[in-house]
Structure 1
């Protein structure tokens, strides 16, 4: 298999340069409707990104072991050629869509992904706010490995997807021409994804392509200005709390639950799920049921 470049490593200078340019653009041309950059928030996002690099190295050990085992067992081995690599990118983007959607629909997975949505600002530094517990992502890509995609090729495709999404985290770019907006994930589409309004929640999960959302009914266009953050914001810049606050909330809910059904619900249902309270018992008069009056028949 040919050596594939480390796309993220080669993109770091561009990340730094473009983030600085965006900061400067807000100083020169402030936007009264956009917060731009808040120093503590941006610092937290950068810290989360650096921490994710460290933790991803740890998670990579068992994940690569599983992928390697699956790749050895499958009879399919796809070569990395000029025409197969775009197909691998397409396949990776398809499974990224389902991974991303799953991380919004299952609370245990959301506890990992919520980190990326925890900023109330939306700028290029927000793209760096990555979780430290990405061990929940790998199962979604096992089908690709089983179809013969080499684990290194999958890593390359995932890096390309990640780098592409850096550029859609901005309010400085308005809607693009219609053909791009129809096919690609754009800043406009991704602003919707990061919004906390009801009509925007759980929409636009695509990584590079937005066509998956159009096909599977999760697309929403940007109409009103998004309000970024969570439906219940955490109000902290502490990286450790940002990384773990939803896991702590799950633990509290599970500890307080009265039934195993509720406990499993708090872990495996959606982030906003709450058990339906049992109906209140009908009060019985102190003297017991009223006896029928004389001349009346009991029902």
Structure 2
């Protein structure tokens, strides 16, 4: 197959330049209502992004092994041609929608993705706040490999999707003309996705296209100004704690759980799941959950 470039690595200079331009713009023309920049927060986001490059390289080893084995076993082949690349991008974006949605509704997956939502700022540096445990994403793309997509072609499509989403992490762009807002994921749609208000939670999961959200009932338009972050924010700029805080919360909840049903729910149900109170047969009253609810998906 033809050589496909690493779009993320090639885009890093543009990421840096655009982030600096936006940062200077906020300093020269501040918006009192905008989240803006805060030095420690931006440094944490950049640190998380740099760390993710190293960890992603590590996680790719077993993932590439699995993808390669499946690709060798399937008799199907999708050639890498000028007209098949847009189709592969479309298929990858569809799978990304379900990957993203799954990482909001399953707590063990959310423990990975929560990193990206942990900033109370919303700017281009927030796009760089990436998880260090991205091993949870690969099963969502296995059907594409089984249908004949080459692992390198999938990696190219995934990187294009990731690079596209960089520019939508900004408050400096209001709304695009209606046809673009209807089809594409835009800053307005993504501001909703990063908001912590109840009506905005778990909405607008699209990567490049927003049409998936319109089709599957998860789209919400931007009305009230978003409040960014988590429903229960973390008070740390330590990259290691940012990367692992939800896993630690799951471990605490498992330790305090009363039975296997609750333990299973704490891991595989939604991030805000709580067991239903049960009557204590040893005396009057009910038994509530041991721990407070974890951060709900923002």
Counterpart residue number, 1:108: 108
CA distance in 1, matches of 2:170, 2:281: 53
> In the TM superposition, what is the alpha-carbon distance from 1:279 to its structure 2 partner?
2.5
Q: Which ranges of 4 or more aligned residues in structure 1 deviate by more than 2 Å?
A: 279-284
**Aligned pairs, how many?**
284
The residue that corresponds to 1:276 in the other structure is: 276
Are 1:191 and 2:191 counterparts?
yes
1:35 Cα deviation after fit: 2.7
Distance 1:259 1:6 in 2: 47
Alpha-carbon distance in structure 2 between the residues aligned to 1:116 and 1:174: 22
Map of 1:144-223 to 2, 5 A cutoff? 144-223=144-223
Number of the residue aligned with 1:71: 71
1:39 counterpart residue number: 39
TM-score between the two structures when normalised by the length of structure 1: 0.94
Report what 1:297 is aligned to: none
TM-score, normalised via structure 2 length: 0.94
Other-structure match for 2:4: 4
Residue of structure 1 in register with 2:250 after alignment: 250
CA distance in 1, matches of 2:55, 2:5: 21
Give 1:83's aligned residue: 83
The Cα of 1:10 is off from its aligned counterpart by 1.1
| CA shift digits 1:200-249 (9 cap, x unpaired) | 00000000000000000000000000000000000110000000000000
Matches of 2:224 and 2:15 in 1, distance apart?
Answer: 28
Larger Rg: 1
Deviation string, structure 1 residues 155-180 (Cα, Å, up to 9, x no partner): 00000000000000000000100000
- How far apart, in 2, do the equivalents of 1:238 and 1:9 lie? 25
Residue by residue, what CA displacement relative to the aligned partner does 1:29-60 show, whole Å, maximum 9, x if unpaired?
10001131100000000000000000001100
Deviation at 1:9, TM superposition (A): 1.1
Separation of aligned partners in 1, 2:283 and 2:72: 66
Tell me, in whole angstroms, the C-alpha distance in 1 between the residues paired with 2:131 and 2:283: 50
Root-mean-square deviation over aligned CA pairs: 1.1
Q: Which residue of 1 aligns with 2:294?
A: none
Gaps of 5+ in 2: 285-298
> In structure 2, what is the Cα distance between the partners aligned to 1:40 and 1:260?
40
Tell me what 1:21 maps to.
Answer: 21
State the alpha-carbon separation in 1 of the partners of residues 73 and 212 from structure 2.
30
Q: CA deviation at 1:28?
A: 1.1
Instruction: Kindly state the Cα deviation for residue 282 of structure 1 after the two structures are TM-superposed.
Output: 9.9
SS of the residue aligned with 1:166? coil
